[in-house]
Every structure is written in C-alpha cells, then in structure tokens.
Amino acid sequence: MRRSMRARPACDRLSRRRFLQGAVAAVPLGGALSLCGALSPRSARAQPAIAATDMGGLWLLQGAGCNVVAMAGDDGALLIDGGLAAHADALLRAVYEATGTDRVHTLVNTHWHPEQTGANEAVGRAGGTILAHEKTRTYLANRVQSALFDGRLEPLSEAGRPNRVVRSEGSLEFAGTRVDYGYLPAAHTDGDLYVHFPALNVLAAGGVVSGERWPLLDYRNGAWLGGRVRALQRLADLVDAETRIVPADGRVLRGGEIVRQRDIYLELFETMIDYLNMGLGIEDAVERNPLERYESELGDAAAFLDGAYRSMLIAYVPD
C-alpha cells in the first residue's frame, strides 16, 4: 500500500476520502494537545497602537489583531481583513489617516476567524461592500466552534456579514488597479481566499502562511494538511522571488519563502502518510516531531503536528 501511495502524483494523494488501510480508521482521536486560546475572541479588550507601513501603492497596518492591507480609492479604501472587533475603531482611524479616505469602500475577509472580521459590522453599517467566500458568510451567520479557540462565537449581525460572496477565482478593479482573488480550499479554514495585486507584486495570503509560527489548521471546520499543501502549491505558482507576501500575522515574506514552505509541508504530508500506514496515533506523530529541524524558525511544532495528524485521520476515514 505504501508503494502505491508514493507512486501516485501528489495531487491524487491529496484527495480527502481516499482509503488507505483498515488500520487508519481504528486510530483513536484521543490524546489531543489543547489548542484553545490560539485565537482571540471577537471581543478582546486592549486598545492597540496601529503601525502603518507604506508598501508603495498599498499600506500595511499592524496591531489590530492581524495584518491588514489597505489601498486608497476615490470613493473610499479597499481593505484586506479587519482585525479584532475591539480594535475596529482604532484600525479604521489608522486606515483613513494612511489612505487619505474617510470610509471603507470594500472589505475583503480572507477567512471567518475573529482576527479577520472585527471591522465587518462598522464597514457594513456604513454601506461598504464586504467580499468573502460563501462559506465565510455561512460561518459568520451562525454560532460556531473551532479547534483554535475557546467556546463558541456568536453570529455577526446582518450588517456585518459579507454582502458579496464568491466561490472560486475572480478579479475586481480598484483605483485603476486589477485585484485578483482566489479560493484556497481547506487550507486554514474551509473558506480561505488569497488576494493578489499583480501590478504591485503583492499577495495577501491570509492564515495559510507565516514566517514566525506554524499556522494551525482549523480541522473541525474543514481544514486539513492536504488542503494546506495544495494552497501553498497554488500560491507558489503566483509568486516570483521579489513578490511580497502578507500573511495573517507577523512579518512580510518573499516569494522564495513560499516555495520553501510548500516543500516543507509536502514533505510533512508524505511523512504523515507513512505514519498512517504504520498505524501510529496522534501522540506518536507529535513525539516523532518530523518538523524539529524547522523549530528554530517557526517555534514549537507540537500543536501544529497534533492538528495536522488529526486532520489526516479525518480526511482518510473511509466513506
């Protein structure tokens, strides 16, 4: 079985419901590390100082709960992600000051987690367009749980829910600039979008990548390791060595780092397939720590490995 798995092309092995061995279904889901608290609730309290960095045609705003990208337009600003709800006022003031605008024309949610959607209600109430994947709108309209934070999140009001939903790839024009977006299925959540500014060679990648930590998988809500690999393959196809990639948090990356991360996650995927074929449990996978040599860059990998292996078990349970 292992040989046949390795002989298949990578895209075939990433099929979520492909049957491996009867032993896989019997591996228990117990022994989890606690992932609660990895994300903040929608109502974090402290008011931050927002730092604005000129990226040449775009602004990067940091300190509101996630990295936010802004562009000035004649009828308001374009915003990629919106930070935490408790920081929305501070963020919007910083956006207006940086862009010289007085409203947000369009806000794009790269996914539905609270760090990305905190400005939604303010933007929506003011008549702005909120663009997101249709699954993001579904999550924001319902009470939801996640492997990545405590408790449940309450739905946003109708004003805060995306009013322009997309399903795959597309483009819009803003301030004379083409802005491309695309769906990254099952990569960090099951509603992830990237946003690409080809003329500026900037890619907003959301929660799929990071240069400072392992971006956890929301495996209870559709994300899995195979989806992460596919997403990085897609992003690697969009970049060159000079592309600036803005992750959900942390420092801005360059194109070569995305290619390297793709290779790291693909190698991990192959290793996890071996672990599944060996009948290893979650604690075994974490203890073996196949990411140990990268921990000096991205920190302790235990929580990520725990979620990644759980996601593999979920994906490969036979129908």
What's residue 236's pLDDT? 97
Can you give the pLDDT of all 319 residues of the chain as single tens digits?
Answer: 333 333 344 545 565 444 333 333 333 433 333 333 344 444 445 567 999 999 999 999 999 999 999 999 999 999 999 999 999 999 999 999 999 999 999 999 999 999 999 999 999 999 999 999 999 999 999 999 999 988 999 999 999 999 999 999 999 999 999 999 999 999 999 999 999 999 999 999 999 999 999 999 999 999 999 999 999 999 999 999 999 999 999 999 999 999 999 999 999 999 999 999 999 999 999 999 999 999 999 999 999 999 999 999 999 865 5
Spell out the domain ranges in the chain. Answer: 2-315
**What is the pTM for the complete model shown?**
0.86
> HEC string of the chain?
CHHHHHHCCHHHHCCCCCCCCHHHHCCCCCCCCCCCCCCCCCCCCCCCCCEEEECCCCEEEECCCCCEEEEEECCEEEEECCCCHHHHHHHHHHHHHHHCCCCEEEEECCCCCHHHHCCHHHHHHCCCEEEEEHHHHHHHCCCEECCCCCCEECCCCHHHCCCEEECCCEEEEECCEEEEEEEECCCCCCCEEEEEEHHHCEEEEECCCCCCCCCCCCHHHCCCHHHHHHHHHHHHHHCCCCCEEEECCCCCEEHHHHHHHHHHHHHHHHHHHHHHHHCCCHHHHHHHCCCHHHHHHHCCCHHHHHHHHHHHHHHCCCC
Among 3.60.15.10, 3.50.50.60, 3.40.50.2300, 3.30.70.1350, name the CATH number for the domain at 2-315. Answer: 3.60.15.10
